[in-house]
């Protein structure tokens, strides 16, 4: 039992802690993105426990046969190879070779820690574990890795301090550990705690309060969070995207009279609704914004689609299909660059087949659905003119046709090809009407197709439309807008370049301004936005981008949903927060080659999801920005640095001044001449002198009493020496004599204040400097004395006064 206690006492705990945390970090940091299981943690802890047991056993042994240890270390390094022979390598995100190297290195560290009684194995374990921790830290992420690395840093500092202490401490007795001074340990520990705290607070991603972050982390995926989620889901069901959009963007002008129309049950089932782009500016007084709704895994900006809008009539976006409910499905957390794979994964049911654009898309001439009564009248007039020329009269059905009837009639036809579905814009209708005016044959074709169905008419009309679309050069837009867009895509080959050019110009030339809404009487918000205001909320960006891309022949659509901004990513929990004002509109373009809808972000200030940057680039960016900042504030940085250097160089002076001022303040006279005050004065004076000696490089060794210490200090000034010894005598009384004991010398006691002040004034830091450190001019040859006599004065009682 005693042997065990002795082993426990002599064990190298700092190193063992380091090694244990390294083992843990390798276990949880180097395992693939699936995360560490309890098995990894159990393995790490078990190996560490074995290492500790071995260390405790070895630490009692006198000699270590080092060649066997080296052999064992080599075996440990190669052990993963054997392991892989019999078992499959652990599933990590690394190659088997890299995994083997890491595991082998971990085994080496554990084994070296067992034999860390020998300094070289100790150094080996420490340096290798530092390397391994760096690797594990750069590979893994998440709070556990971060915390383990932090604790590792603390343990490493502890270990370094121990080594340093053992090296500098001249009081070290061979074969025994000397304890670290608690003051140093607590200082370092509190500094580290402060650093961690500051990192938590200052981390750029921690937009939310620390308390929330900590609570969220503490309760994690636990009950309270799911309760929160429930509440959010409830909110989501109650409030559709439209309602949230109303909150964010201001209300639809058209329905301003009734506020939010319809009863709640209606809204709950009406999952997708149209979105008007003619709105009031948002209400600045709205208190409901900023409420947390759900969380998204990973730090990247994520676009979460809810509703797709295929059609636009100049004022209102038409929802394409019953949208997906937001609640639980989107809140199943999406992680970084995995987001799109997850979103597009059919198993996830986040997006239906239809959303992918790969399913069965039934044709409808939706671009013409929004035809209004005036347009029909126009058509009717044109048809009548045409009929009057060389055709029998217009059929009675056509005479009595209304808008709904025409739409129904057109809706039954299946002419537009699949790819045409997302191509039509509200301008196409105008152009088509214009075209029909100039082309009576086409008009007749349309009429016949609609009302006098004949074999082959449909095909002919579809061919006509395609031809018509192809014949038109440039964007199918009104002249003014076409000119602008033509300028943007000038010289760009069709395809991705043109799409990028449109998006880039929108992002660069237009300003995101949520308050710059289109006026209520504006029939065409896109024209207003593109040509007049050149600023506006994100839905105008998205709508304009969609209209322009369609006019250029790229199938595209507006998407409404949520945007998880990187600023709201909480690095403690590893999740991004989506609030109710994170409603967002953006554009998707159909990429036929890949068979996917590609997100485009035309609004400046919103990021596209991108794969996480490698750690090196992130670091380089941080350094670059720090360098930029320093270059910008060069004057300040230089001044502060100079001041710091000066303060550092003269820190002894400053600290001495401060300590003396503190002494003066603590020992100021307040008419208190009690024995207690006197004792305190004397002891404070002693401590001040000791502190000065420390600054001067002649600190009192902890194992030396004051009287023994001051004796050789002023060899050349017997009077000063005598004063200091008298002070020591008084201090001995002040510190160690109970109240009933009288001071050693009444004369000294009565003049204690003056005496102490005189000593503080005379025994300066400069005077306390050791002889060898003093400049030659101040160095005095100390009088040689009989060493026997010194012994005598020290031993002889009564001479210490």
Kindly write out the interface string for residues 317-336 of this chain, putting x where it contacts other proteins by CB under 8 A and - elsewhere: --------------------
Between residues 283 and 690, which has the closer beta carbon with respect to other proteins? 690
Q: Contact between 85 and other proteins (CB under 8 A)?
A: no
**Cβ(559)–Cβ(307) under 8 Å?**
yes
Given a contact cutoff of 8 angstroms between Cβ atoms, the answer to whether 723 and 711 are in contact is: no
User: CB of 662: closest distance to other proteins in angstroms?
Assistant: 16
What CA–CA distance (Å, rounded) separates 528 from 105? 66
Length of the chain: 801
Pick 164 or 176: Cβ nearer other proteins: 176
Give yes or no for residue 168 binding other proteins (CB under 8 A). Answer: no
In the shown chain, the binding pattern of residues 708 to 727 toward other proteins, with x for contact by CB under 8 A and - for none, equals x-------------------
8 Å CB contact between 203 and 209 = no
Q: In terms of DSSP H, where are the helices of 490-607?
A: 496-509, 525-527, 538-551
* Buried/exposed code over 275-294 (b: 16+ C-beta within 10 A; e: otherwise): bbbbbbebeeeeeeeeebbb
The 756-795 contact track toward other proteins, x by CB under 8 A, reads: --------------------------------x--xx-xx
Site for other proteins contains 456 (CB under 8 A): no
Least spacing, CB of residue 190 vs other proteins, in Å: 22
CA distances from 607 to 290, 563, 599, 611, 713 (A): 19, 9, 11, 12, 70
**Interacting stretch for other proteins, rule CB under 8 A, among 169-177, 501-509, 629-637, 771-779?**
169-177
Query: Which residues 726-755 are close enough to bind other proteins by CB under 8 A?
Result: 731-738, 740-745, 747
The DSSP H or E segment spanning 292 is strand 292-297
- Rounded least distance, CB 748 to other proteins, Å: 9
Binding mask 178-197 for other proteins (x = CB under 8 A): x-------------------
User: Residue 479 or 795: which CB sits closer to other proteins?
Assistant: 795
Spatial neighbors of 337 by CB under 8 A, at least 6 apart, are 298, 300, 609, 610, 611, 612
d(CA 436, CA 442): 6
Residues with Cβ < 8 Å from 294, sequence gap 6 or more? Answer: 229, 232, 236, 326, 330, 331, 577, 578
- Strands (DSSP E) found in 540-695: 556-564, 569-570, 575-579, 583-591, 596-600
| Total number of residues that touch other proteins (CB under 8 A) | 46
Name which position in 701, 712, 718, 770 contacts other proteins (CB under 8 A): 701
Sheet holding 556-564, edge to edge: 275-276, 316-319, 302-312, 556-564, 583-591, 596-600
* 7 touches other proteins (CB under 8 A): no
Grouping H, G, I as helix, E, B as strand and the rest as coil, residue 791 is helix
> Between 291 and 799, whose beta carbon lies closer to other proteins?
799
Site for other proteins in 647-686 (CB under 8 A): 676, 679-680, 683, 686
Per the listing, tokens 């400069």 go with 766
Q: Find the shortest distance in angstroms from Cβ 15 to other proteins.
A: 22
Of residues 470 and 739, the one with the C-beta less far from other proteins: 739
Residue 742: CB minimum distance to other proteins, A: 5
Q: Which is nearer to other proteins, 65 or 702 (CB)?
A: 702
Give the tokens for residue 709. 């210490």
Name the residue nearer to other proteins (CB basis): 410 or 727. 727
* Residue matched to tokens 């867009």: 485
Q: Quick check: 56 binds other proteins (CB under 8 A)?
A: no
Cα distance between residue 317 and residue 307, in whole Å: 11
Minimum Å gap between C-beta 761 and other proteins is 20
| CA nearest neighbour of 543 among 732, 794, 310, 767 | 310
The count of other CB atoms within 10 Å of the CB of residue 195 is 12
User: Which range binds other proteins by CB under 8 A, 166-174, 248-256, 414-422, 750-758?
Assistant: 166-174
Of residues 172 and 487, the one with the C-beta less far from other proteins: 172
Query: What are the residues binding other proteins (CB under 8 A)?
Result: 171, 173-176, 178, 676, 679-680, 683, 686-687, 701-708, 731-738, 740-745, 747, 788, 791-792, 794-801
């Amino acid at each position: 039992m005693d042997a065990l206690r002795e082993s426990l006492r002599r064990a190298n705990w700092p190193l063992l802690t380091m090694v244990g945390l390294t083992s843990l970090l390798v276990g949880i940091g180097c395992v693939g993105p699936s995360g560490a299981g309890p098995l990894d943690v159990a393995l790490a802890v078990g190996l560490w426990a074995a290492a500790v047991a071995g260390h405790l056993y070895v630490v009692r042994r006198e000699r270590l046969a080092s060649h066997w240890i080296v052999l064992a270390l080599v075996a440990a390094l190669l052990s993963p190879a054997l392991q892989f022979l019999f078992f499959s390598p652990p599933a990590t995100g690394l190659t088997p070779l890299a995994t083997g190297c890491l595991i082998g290195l971990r085994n080496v560290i554990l084994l070296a820690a067992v034999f860390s009684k020998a300094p070289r194995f100790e150094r080996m374990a420490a340096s290798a574990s530092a390397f391994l921790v760096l690797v594990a830290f750069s590979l893994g992420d998440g709070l556990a890795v971060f915390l383990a690395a932090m604790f590792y840093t603390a343990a490493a500092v502890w270990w370094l301090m121990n080594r340093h202490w053992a090296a500098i401490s001249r009081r070290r007795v061979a074969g025994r550990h000397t304890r670290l001074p608690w003051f140093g340990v607590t200082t370092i520990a509190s500094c580290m705690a402060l650093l961690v705290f500051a990192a938590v607070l200052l981390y750029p991603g921690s937009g939310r309060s620390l308390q929330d972050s900590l609570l969220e982390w503490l309760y994690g995926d636990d009950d309270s969070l799911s309760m929160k989620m429930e509440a959010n889901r409830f909110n989501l069901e109650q409030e559709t995207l439209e309602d949230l959009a109303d909150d964010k963007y201001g209300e639809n002008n058209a329905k301003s009279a009734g506020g939010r129309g319809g009863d709640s049950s209606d809204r709950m089932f009406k999952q997708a609704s149209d979105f008007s782009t003619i709105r009031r500016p948002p209400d600045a007084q709205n208190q409901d914004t900023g409420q947390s709704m759900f969380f998204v895994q990973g730090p990247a900006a994520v676009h979460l689609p809810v509703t797709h809008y295929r059609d636009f009539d100049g004022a209102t976006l038409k929802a394409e299909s019953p949208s997906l409910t937001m609640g639980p499905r989107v809140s199943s957390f999406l992680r970084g660059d995995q987001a799109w794979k997850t979103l597009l994964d059919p198993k996830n049911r986040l997006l239906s087949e239809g959303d992918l654009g790969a399913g069965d898309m039934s044709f409808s001439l939706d671009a013409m659905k929004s035809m209004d009564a005036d347009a029909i009248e126009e058509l009717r007039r044109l048809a009548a003119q045409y009929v009057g020329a060389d055709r029998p009269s217009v059929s009675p059905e056509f005479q009595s046709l209304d808008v709904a009837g025409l739409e129904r009639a057109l809706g039954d036809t299946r002419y537009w090809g699949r790819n045409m579905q997302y191509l039509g814009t509200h301008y196409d209708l105008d152009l088509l009407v214009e075209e029909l005016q100039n082309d009576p044959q086409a008009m007749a074709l349309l009429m016949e197709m609609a009302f006098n169905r004949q074999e082959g008419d449909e095909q002919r009309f579809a061919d006509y439309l395609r031809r018509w679309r192809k014949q038109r050069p440039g964007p199918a837009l009104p002249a003014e807008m076409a000119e602008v867009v033509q300028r943007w895509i000038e010289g760009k080959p069709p395809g991705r370049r043109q799409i990028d050019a449109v998006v880039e110009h929108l992002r660069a030339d237009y300003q995101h301004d949520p308050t710059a809404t289109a006026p209520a009487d504006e029939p065409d918000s896109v024209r207003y936005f593109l040509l007049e205001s050149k600023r506006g909320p994100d839905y105008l960006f998205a709508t304009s981008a969609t209209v322009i891309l369609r006019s250029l022949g790229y199938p595209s659509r507006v998407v409404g949903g949520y945007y998880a901004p990187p600023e709201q990513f909480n690095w403690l929990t590893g999740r991004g927060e989506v609030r109710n004002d994170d409603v967002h509109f953006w554009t998707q373009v159909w990429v036929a080659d890949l068979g996917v809808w590609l997100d485009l972000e035309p609004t400046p200030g919103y990021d596209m999801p991108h794969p996480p940057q490698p750690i090196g680039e992130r670091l380089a960016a941080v350094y670059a920005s720090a360098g930029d900042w320093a270059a910008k504030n060069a004057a300040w940085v230089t001044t502060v640095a100079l001041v710091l250097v000066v303060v550092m160089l003269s820190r002894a002076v400053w600290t001495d001044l401060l300590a003396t001022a503190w002494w003066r303040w603590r020992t100021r006279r307040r008419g208190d001449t009690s024995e207690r005050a006197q004792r305190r004065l004397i002891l404070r004076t002693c401590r001040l002198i000791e502190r000065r000696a420390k600054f001067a490089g002649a600190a009192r060794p902890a194992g030396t009493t004051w009287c023994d210490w001051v004796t050789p200090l002023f060899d050349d000034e017997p009077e000063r020496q005598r004063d200091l010894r008298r002070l020591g005598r008084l201090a001995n009384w002040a510190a160690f004599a109970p109240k009933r004991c009288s001071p050693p010398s009444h004369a000294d006691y009565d003049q204690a204040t003056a005496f102490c002040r005189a000593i503080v004034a005379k025994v300066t830091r400069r005077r306390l400097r050791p002889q060898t450190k003093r400049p030659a001019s101040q160095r005095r040859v100390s009088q040689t004395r009989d060493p026997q006599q010194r012994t005598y004065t020290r031993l002889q009682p009564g001479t210490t006064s």
